[in-house]
Amino acid sequence: MENKQRVSNLLLLSLIILENLFLYIFFRHGLLDQGPNAIGLFLSSLSFGILLIFKFNNAVAIECNAIQPIKNILSYVMVLAALTIMVCMGFQFNSFFAIHHLDYHYSDIIPSIQIACHRLLNGEFPYKVITDFGYPQQPDYFPMHWMPYSIAELLKIDPRWVTYGAWCSVATCLCFRSTKIPSKALRAITPLLVVASFYFLQDNNIGLFEITVEVLIAAYYMFVVITLNKQSGILQGVAISFCLLSRFSLVLWLPLFCFILFTTNNRKQLYTSIVTGAAMVLLLYVIPFLSKDWSIFFRGFQYYDTATLGEWEHLDAKGQPIHLFRGTGIAYFFYTHFTNLDVMGKIKLLQKTQLFVSLLATAILGAWFWRRRNTINTRVFLMASFKIYMAIFLFLIQLPYEYLMCVGNFITIAVFCEQARYSLTSRKVIPSEG
């Protein structure tokens, strides 16, 4: 069992490296074309979740702090090193922000968020049509996508600090939780792996902070992974609501989450999560905003369709949609095939495919868990299923922006850190966790 654990961890680390190479190196440096790179990224991401199930199947997985406290000064030294790197990267960003000012001509994402925050703090309705850029724009972001930036508006600081601060908070939590990893090698590696993933991202695409707030969304999803390893239904409800009120990509995975907790006698935790999440949605979205204009929800989705069509018709010098041929996602395949459909028809077909395949994946994972629920740790399976689902969802997304894919990458890092906290021993049958 110890050898299985060691080999599995090495393979998981290899898949992390592969995922980063497909995301940032192979396509960008002309080593792979669109199709092979997109499929390679998907398979490396999907394989990570599948391998995690294989690693923990037919084994007793015990969270290390349930065995005995682990004291190792080296692990805390590595955490301190990771925190130091975060501070150093902060100085780098400070210089970058001073030079690269926000400009809606380059990207209107953050400027539109600033307008929403300004309206909120001045008692105005944030979801009014924005006309500040010379063209009408219907705000379509959910509250947790823009509301945290009210902090920057209040403090009169660059809003990009909120993005970095959110990621650093979750990353710091992961680093300190890594001090409870049984393996000495992984206790040393994991904190640096957390910051290295971020450094690799910003080193290859520092402009990400100029055009989007996706790292904030990644922090939400990393937070979900952490809460899956806790018994607090309140924390899980908060984390899930943050995701639902931002990108909401995990919505089709939630029935599986509920099914697993319900069938493993974690019903009190499940009900607490549901009540907490529902309360957060009511307090942060329905009561303050949606109740004042029920059409904003549907207008947001209509605007997303319009934006998607615009990007599919935004061609490069080769006559190809720019963001469909950047080395990620399967949208390019739907664009180049199905010639009997117009562009919107192809988009709708991809949307239906994403819905069908995502639901099919959760159904298959649910059926597998039901049959094998006594042979795998519930928390580990929740993490693995979440990773598998997100790999599929992002592969089939209609606008496979590069910055969206960083969310899947950070989920991989968070899952690796959390799964490393479990030690394995052999046993043929494992009682379900209560």
Tell me what the pLDDT averaged over the chain comes to.
Answer: 89
Beta-ladder partners of 423? 62
pLDDT at 317: 83
Other CB atoms closer than 10 Å to residue 331's CB: what's the count? 26
Mean pLDDT calculated for residue range 22-33:
92
Whether residue 27 has pLDDT greater than 70: yes
User: What is the DSSP code string of 15-61?
Assistant: HHHHHHHHHHTTTTTTSS-HHHHHHHHHHHHHHHHHHHHHHHTTEEE
Q: Is the pLDDT of residue 429 over 70?
A: no
pLDDT at residue 206, as a whole number: 53
pLDDT digits (tens, 9 = 90+) for 100-136: 888 887 778 899 999 999 999 999 999 998 888 888 8
Among candidates 257, 215, 213, which has minimal Cα distance to 237?
257
pLDDT one-digit tens code per residue, 195-212 = 988 888 877 765 676 678
Amino acid at 279: A
Instruction: Supply 38's token pair.
Output: 């997109």
Over the stretch 71-100, which tens digit does the pLDDT of each residue have? 578 788 888 999 999 999 888 888 888 888
Length of the chain counted residue by residue: 434
- Residue 266: the pLDDT is 87
Of 145, 143, 177, the C-alpha closest to 163 is 145
User: Mind listing the pLDDT tens digit for each residue in 303-335?
Assistant: 778 888 989 998 888 889 988 999 999 999 999
In the chain, the percentage of residues whose pLDDT exceeds 70 is 95
Q: How many CA atoms lie within 13 A of 19 on its CB side?
A: 28
Residues 12-25: what's their mean pLDDT?
Answer: 94
With a cut of 70, say whether residue 12 has pLDDT above it.
yes
CA–CA separation, 222 and 410 (whole Å): 7
Per-residue model confidence (pLDDT) at position 427: 60
Tens-digit pLDDT profile for residues 224-254:
999 999 889 999 999 999 999 998 899 999 9
Contacting residues for 132 by C-beta, under 8 A, at least 6 apart: 104, 111, 115
